[in-house]
Amino acid sequence: MIVRHHLGEDDELARHLTHQLNTPLDWPGDAGLNTEHVAKIAVAAACDISYNEAANGHLVDLFAALPLPGTSEGADFWAALTSAGGDAALYIDPANAGGPFFNYLLNGNEGGIAGRVLSFFEKLDDHQRDAVADVIGGALGHDTFVAGGRYLGKLWLRDAETSAWHVLLAGRRTYETENDRKRFLKAWSDA
């Protein structure tokens, strides 16, 4: 997979390169970078992109395992999910979320989509969560996934919830968390 990442002034990677590594964005110029510095830049770029891309891609993959909207199987599945999850299901229902729901996620609006997924989970009561697990577990391909039924549904729910959390966590910016981290490390050392 080829990843293209364009740097803008407000980009997390650009801030990391300029503030943490003291690297000008218009390099090479007369920057005088050495191999070690270039290696650190490569590592920073890989970490920034891979963590965000992995979290976002995994969330999309979880939903891609479900019956597709616009198909008869998908219509039945989403109707059953809405029945099982009540109003909470509206947060992730394709008809309510809109066609480009996951395109937003893949194109950089991670927090909004992940927030909707987490709102779905937050609004489910225990009874609804069990019912949703049954619907999802029943829809997952048993030939692909060895287990079946509610157990698969529960695994899917846990994974989707954790993945949405990872998407939000990956969206936190260093400049937003740097002081928090310093205070934490200081308090931890002094404890």
Handedness of CA 11, 17, 20, 22 (dihedral sign): negative
Domain spans in the chain, listed from the N-terminal domain onward: 67-170
HEC string of the chain equals: CCCCCCCCCCCHHHHHHHHHCCCCCCCCCCCCCCHHHHHHHHHHHHHHHHHHHHHHHHHHHHHHCCCCCCCHHHHHHHHHHHHHHHHHHHHCCHHHHCCCHHHHHHCCCHHHHHHHHHHHHHHCCHHHHHHHHHHHHHHCCCCCCCCCHHHHHHHHHHHHHHHHHHHHHHCCCHHHHHHHHHHHHHHHHHC
Can you tell me the distance from the alpha carbon of 114 to that of 130, in angstroms, rounded to the nearest whole number?
21
86's torsion region: left (phi>0), alpha (psi -120 to 50) or beta? Answer: left
**Banded model confidence at residue 46, pLDDT cuts 50, 70, 90:** low
Contact call for residues 120 and 92 (beta carbons, < 8 A): yes
Q: Residue 127's Cα: distance from chain center in Å? A: 26
**Is this prediction's pTM over 0.85?**
no
pLDDT of residue 60: 82
Q: Pick the residue with more confidence: 114 or 55?
A: 114
Percent of the chain residues topping a pLDDT of 70:
56
- Find the mean pLDDT for residues 84-99: 85
**Banded model confidence at residue 4, pLDDT cuts 50, 70, 90:** very low
Contact call for residues 137 and 80 (beta carbons, < 8 A): no
Q: Which residues, other chains included, contact 77 with Cβ-Cβ below 8 Å and sequence gap of 6+?
A: 66, 67, 135, 139
Does position 43 have pLDDT exceeding 80, yes or no?
Answer: no
pLDDT of residue 5: 47
Residue type, 66: L
